[in-house]
Homo-oligomer: A and B are copies of this chain.
Amino acid sequence: MPTVSLALGTHSYDVHVSNGALDSAGFFSTRARLGGRAALITDTNVYPQYGERVKRSLEDADYAVSVHVVDAGEKSKSLNVMNQVVEEMVSAGHDRTSFVVALGGGVVGDLAGFIASVYYRGIPYVQIPTSVMAQVDSSVGGKTALNLPSGKNLIGSFHQPRFVVADPTALLSLPERVLREGMAEMVKHAAIRRPKMLVILRQLADELPIGFSLSNIERLPSLIAENIEIKARIVEKDERETTGTRAFLNFGHTLGHGIEASVSYGDLLHGEVVSLGIRAALYLSRKLIGLPVHDEAEVLQTLSSLKLPLQLPRKVDPGTVLAHAMTDKKFRGGKIRFVLLKRLGEPVLSDAVTIDDLKEALSVLGTAPRIRKLH
């Protein structure tokens, strides 16, 4: 079973990646010496599919388990839902010896992780991610967050899980569009750290019309582990996003978040706005620091073959995107911190991107991309 270890001093941990690993949640909890009771936090989409299996695995390992099901979707990353889950946990008798199990995609991971970081001033938690994006990105690294009316992820914490269990078979039931959007974070990882992975992603893209299936599922654990490895090495260098290294993971995300905030919920999925943000960041990288045309083309080609969007929908107003992007957390003390690529695998943090540059990139995003067939 591929295991990726994160070396983070007293809160180091392992990410276990294997088909069927969902059923080992209890085993890994015992091995991590988690004691007492588990609060299983999940959502209305995931619970019917995998909730009982994880609960049984925990109970078989002698844990008392309470289940807390929130509505699927971004709206559950709120103070209200947190309040409700915490009250349920108190009623279920959880104290500071309990732990939280986050079973679901990015929303459940962020919500459950945040609850664990503040319940009784902090209890342990484990991540069992069930979407591509959560498996290769959000479940690893300890970032938790809630949204507030004035902005996404405005409050949150750094709280590392005790372990992560990524089971690729949980992806088999995902709708094709959700599967594809998750691949955008893999393209990001490839662009900033592992250019060779772009070839693998294009090969996989050809099989995606039928989604992942039992016929290609055995290829997933190593691909997912490779992506987690990339993120893990970056997080180890900059756990709390203070040195700048971790900011590389925001490649494509600054304008991406601006676009995400400018559309109605569900119009564009997170990975889809990241795809748009990556195109904009590639354009600026070429213009400002000479990213080779061939490098830009290879990433665009990969996003295109994964059928991820590369052109801003006409109804999205660039001015609104810009205004939202300006309130992003990546704006420190009024300055823009933008991740550019010098070449594939070589990200740099730049202060040189101006508001006019962003406007120009957004205007380019409104036009159809020219995709060159590479192979």
| A residues neighboring B (CB under 8 Å) | 35-36, 79, 82-83, 86-87, 90-91, 95-97, 114, 117-122, 143-145, 148-151, 153-158, 240-241, 327, 329, 331-334
Closest residue of B by beta carbon distance from A146:
B118
What is the minimal beta-carbon distance from A369 to any residue of chain B, in angstroms? 33
Give bound CA distance, A240 to B154, whole Å.
25
- Cβ-neighbour of A87 out of B118, B150, B153, B157 (below 8 A): B150
- Cβ-neighbour of A151 out of B90, B150, B240 (below 8 A): B90
Which residues of chain B are within 8 angstroms of A114 by Cβ–Cβ distance? 118
- Cβ-neighbour of A333 out of B35, B144, B241, B329 (below 8 A): B35
What is the minimal beta-carbon distance from A167 to any residue of chain B, in angstroms? 28
Cβ contact within 8 Å between A333 and B95: yes
Decide yes or no: A96 and B157 within 8 Å by CB, A90-B151, A148-B87 being known contacts: no
Which residues of chain B are within 8 angstroms of A329 by Cβ–Cβ distance? 95-96, 120
Which residues of chain B are within 8 angstroms of A96 by Cβ–Cβ distance? 329, 332
6 A-B interface contacts by CB (under 8 A): A95-B332, A95-B333, A97-B332, A120-B154, A121-B144, A121-B158
Cβ contact within 8 Å between A91 and B154: no
Which residues of chain B are within 8 angstroms of A334 by Cβ–Cβ distance? 95
Which residues of chain B are within 8 angstroms of A331 by Cβ–Cβ distance? 95
Closest residue of B by beta carbon distance from A331:
B95
What is the minimal beta-carbon distance from A121 to any residue of chain B, in angstroms? 4
Closest residue of B by beta carbon distance from A242:
B96
Closest residue of B by beta carbon distance from A329:
B120
Cβ contact within 8 Å between A86 and B154: yes
Cβ contact within 8 Å between A121 and B145: yes
Give bound CA distance, A353 to B91, whole Å.
24
Cβ contact within 8 Å between A90 and B157: no
Which residues of chain B are within 8 angstroms of A87 by Cβ–Cβ distance? 148-150
- Cβ-neighbour of A119 out of B35, B91, B143, B154 (below 8 A): B154
Which residues of chain B are within 8 angstroms of A153 by Cβ–Cβ distance? 121
What is the minimal beta-carbon distance from A228 to any residue of chain B, in angstroms? 21
Cβ contact within 8 Å between A121 and B156: yes
Cβ contact within 8 Å between A143 and B121: yes
Give bound CA distance, A16 to B151, whole Å.
37
Decide yes or no: A148 and B333 within 8 Å by CB, A79-B83, A83-B79, A122-B158 being known contacts: no
